Amino acid sequence: MKSGVRVAAVTSGPASRGKKALLVCVIMQNRALEGVLSSHVTSDGSDASSKITAMLRRSRFMEQVKLIAVNGITIAGLNVIDTKKVGRALGASFIILTRHRPRRRLLVKALRRLGRETRTSTKGRIKVVEGAAGLGFVKVGGFFAQSDTEISEDIARTAFEALRLSHIISRGIATGESKGRV
């Protein structure tokens, strides 16, 4: 993917099971902030994919966004993002950035426990997580990057900076003050 593409970085604010969490999307190009979008998702719910798709579709940036960055495959607790479905719907690629090597086994275990505790089916979410296992990952700087397309180090760094800003904004709005790191 060429340098200069617009990156949409999506994060959520703090999550409490069953409640709504703030969803923030930062749009960046060449490490320059171009816009901020917001919505809400259900904590530990199953609406992340549809909310991200709707939020980006109604924005003026949609035509230029070619890469969507997320910090892990879940937001707002265990609300799983179907990156393939969202990517197809929006005509964009995904980059999943994490500080640690992906640990899908632990995520699947947590989803199964959530299903038992809430008496809901998590089969669809587990299938999405297992489907993401096909994405290879590379270490870029101090984090791991997984994508469905080839990503340059410069693009990965822009995506990480966009995620960092999105995290700061969502935490600051939801709690009154930002803190921590992505």
Phi-psi sector, 106: left (phi>0), alpha (psi -120 to 50), beta: alpha
Query: What's the token pair of residue 46?
Result: 């199953």
Residue 70 lies in a domain: yes
Residue 120 lies in a domain: no
* Backbone phi, psi, residue 9, to 5°: -105, 125
Closest by CA to 86, choosing from 117, 121, 131, 122, is: 131
Model confidence, pTM: 0.88
* Backbone phi, psi, residue 126, to 5°: -65, -40
- What is the CATH number for 69? 3.30.2170.10
Residue 37 lies in a domain: yes
Phi-psi sector, 175: left (phi>0), alpha (psi -120 to 50), beta: alpha
Residue 93 lies in a domain: yes
Q: Quote the number of domains for the chain.
A: 1
- Mean pLDDT value across residues 104-132: 85
- The domain in which residue 168 lies consists of 6-100+136-175
Do the Cβ atoms of 17 and 47 come closer than 8 Å? no
Residue 110 lies in a domain: no
pLDDT of 155 > 60? The answer is yes
What letter represents residue 33's amino acid? L
Would you state the pLDDT for residue 157?
85
Residue 168 lies in a domain: yes
Residue 126 lies in a domain: no
- What does the pLDDT look like over 47-91, one tens digit per residue? 999 999 999 999 999 999 999 999 999 999 999 999 999 999 999
